[in-house]
């Protein structure tokens, strides 16, 4: 999704803007631009495609000036072209605007402005704001932005620069992330922390409805009525190295390999093995409320949704609470049955996914209890739910989610164990035993990562196929879904996942020698049934690959290839079993020469509905 950077200080702005934008590349984009106030007016540069195209243009004749704004655009309204790239100007070219989000009523206002004689140069909804600010401007830029925004409906993070105000950046947010970075003799705005972490660790999270005035040595925040707001500064502890590749070819590979560490972070301080209990107070739902709830609804998208399906299994099996997992994008359009005894859990790495946020808001409106499991601190969803359990896996830069998946699943298991214990369905001994197994997960994942050679061989064989079917059962059906999502989003190979028993009810018709099947067939309560399903596949000449438990010779007799993982308790197995499937998708994609960290058409945080 789009990225915004702004700078005011005593250094050439263009350099800092380009650096900041490069650190936001992970968000996904298809064009980029910067605008710098150079003493005579605005110097604007925009290019389609990768940031290097803009960097080339800037390198030839860099805009000179100490204040500027920059933007990476992920097209929503209008194709990825230079004229649609941000920043956008007003008709006189006196001000520029960058925008992340969608102005839902832009057409109505655009028509009104066209009637007044305004000529639009782009197809974007964002350009409307530039003209609207110009029309409201009478010398006070913040006030003009405030008046203009009061006309716009929708989500936004914006930054505005005016040639009459070489000492002022105006920024605002509603529904899209935006932070201020406070430096010495310089200040920043950005969509996300890595953009400015090289220069400051002092951050202010803007809230929905905030408008900030940012100057070289000061900043102030107002609401949309012009009243001053108090905002606290936060010190960021993340190292920049943690947000960079750390020696791996891609962020994604680094993030897959980080999982033993990130899971230890997720679990750290939350496992009371001696007492046989779990500490998840930040989740924000009291024991009394946990005893009272009659149903759980998990809302999430993509990978987070699949993690939620594992959570469904946990809440039902352990806590005996009816649980459903909803696509967040569907939830509020189907008149969900929610009351004060319904717990709605939002799952999101970014905490900014528009569909999940909208579902949580709907749940709040309906009077449900809401909580979230998130990764990005201070993100919008944390402010809209009663409590947030952070998965603590650190910045996830690769567009394809990996460590956030395992972080979410582990967090769900902790919450489900606690809920089950509070409701009297599991004993302290059971909790102690499960926590003991959870403690071993980092080393089980280390063992699994060591299978990389076998996975690379498999990838070399698989990368020429055009379709692939994943099978799983029980708690590992979501593992199959997540494996298929990883393969399709990274390698563009069509991949689907089915509960293994469902295959014979139709999809088996697809199978032949050109349609490989990958099954999660580790030891579990449904192992024998999965083995029978695999025999059905093998009889159709399909190449059969299975994820099996180390030492399982029987499986090797049925399928063509086996990737072995360590034996784990079934309840824990999704945390380990997904890892080889992440690696497989990664190596198939790199074998095909695909851009694994930024697959085509994808964005890291989908902040539009
Ligand atoms: O930030 P979120 O967890 O809310 O994001 C949800 C999905 O957009 C995300 O998981 C997406 O499916 C990833 N590309 C999957 O790798």
Tokens encoding 356:
């999940």
Q: Which of 401, 589, 595 to mutate to test the pocket of ligand 1 (most atoms within 8 A of CB)?
A: 401
What are the contacts of 113-120 at 24+ separation with CB within 8 A? 118/91, 119/91
pLDDT tier for residue 443 given thresholds of 50, 70 and 90: very high
Distance 303 CA to ligand 1 centre (A): 5
Statement: residue 438 has pLDDT above 70: yes
403 classed as catalytic: no
Statement: residue 159 has pLDDT above 90: yes
**CA-to-CA distance for 374 and 389, rounded, in angstroms?**
7
pLDDT tier for residue 8 given thresholds of 50, 70 and 90: very high
Q: Which of 353, 582, 586 to mutate to test the pocket of ligand 1 (most atoms within 8 A of CB)?
A: 353
Q: Pick the residue whose CA is nearest to atom 14 on ligand 1.
A: 400
Q: Pick the residue whose CA is nearest to atom 16 on ligand 1.
A: 400
Strand residue runs (E) in 61-164 = 67-73, 88-89, 95-103, 154-162
Statement: residue 164 has pLDDT above 70: yes
**CA-to-CA distance for 408 and 485, rounded, in angstroms?**
16
Mean pLDDT of 565-577: 97
- Over 1-18, what HEC string results? CCEEEEEECCCCHHHHHH
Instruction: Output the CA–CA distances (angstroms, integers) from residue 452 to 44, 101, 322, 400, in the order listed.
Output: 47, 40, 39, 19
Q: Which of 485, 606, 608 to mutate to test the pocket of ligand 1 (most atoms within 8 A of CB)?
A: 606
Mean pLDDT of 325-342: 94
Atom from ligand 1 closest to the CA of residue 486 = 16
Atom from ligand 1 closest to the CA of residue 602 = 14
67-73 β-sheet, strand order: 42-48, 31-37, 67-73, 3-8, 187-190, 179-182, 202-205, 234-235
| pLDDT mean across residues, the chain | 93
Strand residue runs (E) in 488-538 = 494-499, 517-520
Q: Pick the residue whose CA is nearest to atom 2 on ligand 1.
A: 348
Taken in order 390, 396, 399, 402, the sign of the CA dihedral is negative
Tens digits of per-residue pLDDT, 87-122? Answer: 999 999 999 999 998 787 899 999 999 999 999 999
Instruction: Output the CA–CA distances (angstroms, integers) from residue 490 to 25, 520, 592, in the order listed.
Output: 17, 20, 10
Q: Pick the residue whose CA is nearest to atom 4 on ligand 1.
A: 348
Give the bridge partners for 580, in sequence order: none
Mean pLDDT of 123-131: 95
Q: List the single range of 234-248, 280-294, 378-392, 507-521 with lowest mean pLDDT.
A: 234-248
Statement: residue 243 has pLDDT above 80: no
pLDDT tier for residue 241 given thresholds of 50, 70 and 90: low
2 classed as catalytic: yes
Mean pLDDT of 258-275: 89
Distance 601 CA to ligand 1 centre (A): 13
* CATH code 3.90.480.20 for 3-241: no
pLDDT of residue 601: 84
Cβ contacts of 128 within 8 Å, gap of 6 or more = 103, 106, 109, 110, 113, 152
3-state secondary structure at position 124 = coil
Give residue limits of the domains in the chain. 3-241, 245-442, 452-592
pLDDT of residue 503: 87
Statement: residue 245 has pLDDT above 80: no
State residue 525 phi and psi, 5-degree precision: -65, -20
pLDDT tier for residue 1 given thresholds of 50, 70 and 90: low
Top CATH class of 452-592 equals: alpha beta
Atom from ligand 1 closest to the CA of residue 606 = 8
Tens digits of per-residue pLDDT, 334-350? Answer: 889 999 999 999 999 99
**CA-to-CA distance for 14 and 425, rounded, in angstroms?**
60
pLDDT tier for residue 607 given thresholds of 50, 70 and 90: confident
Tokens encoding 27:
């968000």
Statement: residue 581 has pLDDT above 80: yes
600 or 355, higher pLDDT: 355
pLDDT of residue 29: 79
Ligand 1 pocket, residues with Cβ under 6 angstroms: 301-304, 348-350, 353, 356, 399-401, 489, 602, 605-606
30 or 358, higher pLDDT: 358
Q: Are 290 and 341 spatial neighbours (Cβ–Cβ below 8 Å)?
A: no
Cβ contacts of 579 within 8 Å, gap of 6 or more = 256, 259, 406, 445, 448, 449, 565
For 245-442, the fitting CATH number among 3.40.50.10490, 3.40.50.280, 1.10.10.10, 3.40.50.2300 is: 3.40.50.10490
Mean pLDDT of 587-596: 96
Tokens encoding 8:
């005011």
- Over 335-351, what HEC string results? CCCCCCCEEEEEEECCC
Distance 105 CA to ligand 1 centre (A): 27
353 or 261, higher pLDDT: 353
Task: Give the chain's end-to-end CA distance (angstroms, integer).
Answer: 12
pLDDT of residue 217: 97
Q: List the single range of 164-178, 274-288, 463-477, 534-548 with lowest mean pLDDT.
A: 534-548
Atom from ligand 1 closest to the CA of residue 408 = 3
Statement: residue 269 has pLDDT above 90: no
**CA-to-CA distance for 346 and 386, rounded, in angstroms?**
11
Q: Are 565 and 448 spatial neighbours (Cβ–Cβ below 8 Å)?
A: yes
Atom from ligand 1 closest to the CA of residue 404 = 3
pLDDT of residue 316: 98
Proportion of the chain above pLDDT 90, given as a percent: 80
Mean pLDDT of 211-224: 98
Is-cis flag, bond preceding 87, omega within 30? yes
pLDDT tier for residue 289 given thresholds of 50, 70 and 90: very high
3-241 with 452-592: one CATH topology? no
**CA-to-CA distance for 600 and 28, rounded, in angstroms?**
9
Q: Is 12 exposed, middle or buried (0-12, 13-18, 19+ CB in 10 A)?
A: middle
């Amino acid at each position: 999704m789009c990225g915004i950077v702004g700078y005011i200080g005593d250094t050439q702005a263009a350099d800092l803007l380009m650096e900041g934008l490069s650190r936001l590349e992970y968000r996904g984009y298809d064009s980029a631009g910067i605008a710098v106030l150079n003493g005579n007016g605005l110097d604007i540069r925009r290019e389609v495609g990768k940031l290097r195209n803009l960097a080339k243009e800037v390198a030839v004749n860099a805009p000179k000036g100490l204040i500027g704004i920059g933007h990476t655009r992920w097209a929503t309204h209008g194709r990825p072209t230079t004229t649609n790239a941000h920043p956008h100007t007003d008709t006189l070219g006196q001000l520029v605007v960058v925008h992340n989000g969608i102005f839902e009523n832009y057409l109505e206002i655009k028509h009104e402005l066209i009637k007044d004689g305004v000529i639009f140069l782009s197809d974007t909804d964002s350009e409307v704001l530039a003209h609207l600010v110009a029309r409201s401007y009478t010398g006070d830029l913040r006030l003009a932005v405030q008046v203009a925004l009061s006309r716009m409906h929708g989500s936004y993070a914006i930054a505005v620069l005016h040639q009459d105000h070489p000492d002022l950046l105006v920024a605002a947010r509603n529904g899209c992330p935006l932070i201020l970075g406070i430096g010495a003799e310089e200040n920043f705005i950005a969509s996300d922390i890595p953009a400015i972490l090289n220069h400051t660790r002092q951050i202010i999270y803007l809230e929905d409805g905030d408008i900030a005035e940012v100057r070289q040595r000061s900043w102030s925040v107002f609401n949309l009525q012009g009243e001053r707001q108090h905002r606290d500064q936060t010190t960021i502890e993340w190292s920049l190295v943690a947000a960079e590749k750390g020696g791996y070819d891609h962020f994604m590979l680094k993030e897959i390999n980080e999982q033993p560490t990130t899971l230890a972070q997720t679990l750290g301080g939350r496992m009371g093995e001696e007492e046989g209990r779990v500490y998840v107070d930040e989740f924000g739902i009291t024991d009394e409320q946990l005893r009272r709830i009659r149903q759980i609804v998990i809302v999430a998208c993509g990978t987070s949704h699949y993690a939620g399906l594992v959570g469904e299994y946990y809440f039902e099996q352990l806590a005996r609470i009816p649980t459903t997992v909803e696509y967040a994008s569907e939830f509020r359009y189907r008149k969900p049955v929610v009351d004060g005894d319904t717990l709605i859990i939002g799952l999101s790495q970014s905490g900014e996914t528009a569909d999940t946020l909208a579902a949580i808001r709907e749940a709040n409106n309906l009077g449900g209890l809401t909580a979230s499991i998130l990764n990005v601190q201070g993100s919008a969803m944390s402010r809209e739910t009663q409590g947030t359990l952070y998965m603590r896996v650190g910045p996830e830069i690769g567009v394809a989610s990996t460590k956030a998946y395992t972080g979410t699943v582990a967090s769900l298991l902790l919450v489900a164990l606690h809920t089950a214990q509070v409701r009297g369905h599991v004993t302290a001994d059971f909790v102690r035993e499960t926590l003991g197994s959870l403690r071993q997960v980092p080393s089980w994942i280390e063992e699994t990562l060591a299978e990389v050679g076998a996975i690379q061989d498999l990838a070399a064989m698989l990368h020429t196929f055009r379709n692939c079917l994943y099978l799983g059962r029980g708690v590992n059906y979501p593992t199959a879904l997540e494996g298929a999502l990883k393969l399709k989003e990274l390698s563009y190979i069509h991949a689907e996942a089915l509960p293994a028993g469902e295959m014979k009810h139709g999809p088996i018709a697809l199978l032949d020698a050109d349609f490989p099947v990958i099954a999660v067939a580790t030891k579990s309560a449904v192992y024998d049934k999965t083995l029978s399903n695999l025999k059905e596949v093998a009889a159709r000449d399909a190449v059969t690959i299975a994820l099996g438990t180390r030492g399982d010779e029987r499986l090797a007799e049925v399928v063509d290839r086996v990737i072995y993982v360590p034996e784990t308790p079934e309840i824990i197995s999704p945390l380990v079993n997904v890892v080889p499937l992440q690696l497989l998708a990664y190596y198939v994609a790199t074998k095909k020469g695909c851009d694994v960290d930024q697959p085509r058409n994808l964005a890291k945080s989908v902040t539009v509905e």
